[in-house]
Structure 1
Amino acid sequence: MRLPFLQTQDPSLLWVEGHRIQAGAHQRPLSGLPTEDQLAQALAALPAGPTRWVVDDLWVPSVLLRDLPELPRGAEAQEAFFRWRFGQTLALEEPHAVQSILVESGTWLAAGIREDLRETWIQLSLRLDRGMRALTPRWLHLYNQLAPGFDLPGMLLSLSPAGGDRYAGTLVAWGRTLCLVRQWSEPLSPDGWNEERIAPSAAFLQREARTPQQMLVWGARTWPEGTVPVRCLDDRAPAGEVR
């Protein structure tokens, strides 16, 4: 099931990860959040008009909120409720702007970005006549590109390199639809990921009758085999189709 989360058909895509930024033919390395000058240079490489941003997972944390059969009435009340549940679930101290979408009955996907960071990016894009039409975490962009081919339960790793063959990032899994989202800012080696994060997640999914049949990996060229068969995705052209 594809999740139409902040989606748009606008082809002007800005791809921003902690280690690189790409817009059209413009690409340069980064070492963390981009400066306004770095963003301005990248946006200038795109056509004027609306832009779509795909950004590092760790800047837009995501969580599945379960057991929500009823919500407060009214759009403002629901927005406040999701913002509260999101901050409470992730123990966040800074205020976040939160977007949510229904995944299945009683379960919602919520993703948020620091309000100050979101406002800075929106204002910068507007000043350059490249207003932000959508802002999507990298894992969800990958999931939505791959989702039409999901016939069997599986897992996806969306990784951010941290140097020394270590990675932070996101693990998501699906059965009939998205059923697990877990994120770690602490980097681990691939063997550490397999032992401490992937194997326990696969065991949980097996108990839920959603045993993953394959694990797709974005952000690492190779990955050691573990409890789930592995296929590494080509991450050399982030603005193109995922293969």
Structure 2
Amino acid sequence: MKLPLLAPPDASLLWLDAHRVVAGTHRRPLNGTPTEDQLAQALAALPPGPTRWVVEDLWTPSVLMRDLTELPRGAEAQEAFFKWRFTQALALETPHFVQALEVEPGAWLASGIREDLRESMLQLSLRLDRTVHTLTPRWLYLYNLLAPSLALPGMLLSLSPVESGRYAGTLVAWGRTLCLLRQWSEPLDAEGWMEERIAPSAAFLQRESRPPQQLFIWGAPAWPDSGLATKLMDDRLVFGESR
């Protein structure tokens, strides 16, 4: 099941990881949030027209909200409600722009981005006449990319290399639809992810009668045996070119 609200339109792709920016053949290392000059150089490498921005998970936190059977009436009231729930759930101190999408009755996916970061990106795009169609978290872009082939319950790891062999990032899982989302800014090596994050998540899904049968991994060159059918995703899958 794709999540249509944030599905990518027909536009050029600007890819922002915490450690790199990719725009067509333009690839440059990053060390955290890009500067305006770095973004301008990347956008200049793309054809004229609209762009879709795929943004580092740690800059675009997400949360699944469950058992929301009654919502405030009116678009503005609902927007304020989801923003409040999102801020409370993640204990955020800085204001975030939040989008929410119902993934099944009573369950909503909310994704946000710091308001100042979003505003700087939009203002830059306006100055350069490069319309932004979407700002999508990396994990969600990858999930939507996989969605047509997700015949079995499974997991996706969207990883951000922090230092040699250690990763922060996102774990999502699905059965009939998205059912689990967890994010960690603290880096662990692959064995730590297996022991402290994947195994407990798989145990939870087992209790929920949604045991995962496959594991997709983005951001790591290799992965230890997890007991699941494992596929490493690489740049060729996303960018359509050889490394």
- Write out per-residue CA displacement over residues 51-88 of structure 1, whole angstroms, 9 at most, x where no aligned residue: 10001100000000101011100000000000000000
Task: Name structure 2 gaps, 5 residues minimum.
Answer: none
Task: Name structure 1 gaps, 5 residues minimum.
Answer: none
**Partners of 1:11 and 1:75 in 2: CA distance:** 28
Q: SS where residue 5 of structure 1 aligns? A: helix
**Partners of 2:140 and 2:8 in 1: CA distance:** 13
Residue 153 of structure 1: aligned partner: 153
**Mapping 1:87-106, distance limit 5 Å:** 87-106=87-106
**Mapping 1:63-74, distance limit 5 Å:** 63-74=63-74
Is the counterpart of residue 228 in structure 1 residue 228 in structure 2? Answer: yes
Give the C-alpha shift of residue 7 in structure 1. 2.6
- Please tell me the residue identity of whatever aligns with 2:191: D
> Cα distance 1:133–1:142, how it changes in 2: closer, same or farther (>3 A)?
same
- Write out per-residue CA displacement over residues 70-122 of structure 1, whole angstroms, 9 at most, x where no aligned residue: 11000000000000000000000001000010000000000000000000000
**Mapping 1:34-113, distance limit 5 Å:** 34-113=34-113
Is the counterpart of residue 193 in structure 1 residue 204 in structure 2? Answer: no
- For these two proteins, the number of residue pairs brought into alignment is 241
Residue 180 of structure 1: aligned partner: 180
The answer (yes or no) to whether the contact 2:72–2:81 under 8 Å persists in 1 is yes
- Please tell me the residue identity of whatever aligns with 2:207: R
Give the C-alpha shift of residue 213 in structure 1. 0.3
Is the counterpart of residue 25 in structure 1 residue 25 in structure 2? Answer: yes
Q: Report the TM-score when normalising by structure 1.
A: 0.96
Q: Report the TM-score when normalising by structure 2.
A: 0.96
Alpha-carbon RMSD across the aligned residues, in angstroms, is 1.3
- Percent of aligned positions that are identical: 71
Bigger shift: residues 141-150 or 222-231: 222-231
- Write out per-residue CA displacement over residues 102-157 of structure 1, whole angstroms, 9 at most, x where no aligned residue: 00000000000000000000000111011211000000000001011111100000
Residue 203 of structure 1: aligned partner: 203
**Partners of 1:6 and 1:156 in 2: CA distance:** 18
Residue 240 of structure 1: aligned partner: 240
**Partners of 1:10 and 1:126 in 2: CA distance:** 19
The answer (yes or no) to whether the contact 1:15–1:238 under 8 Å persists in 2 is no
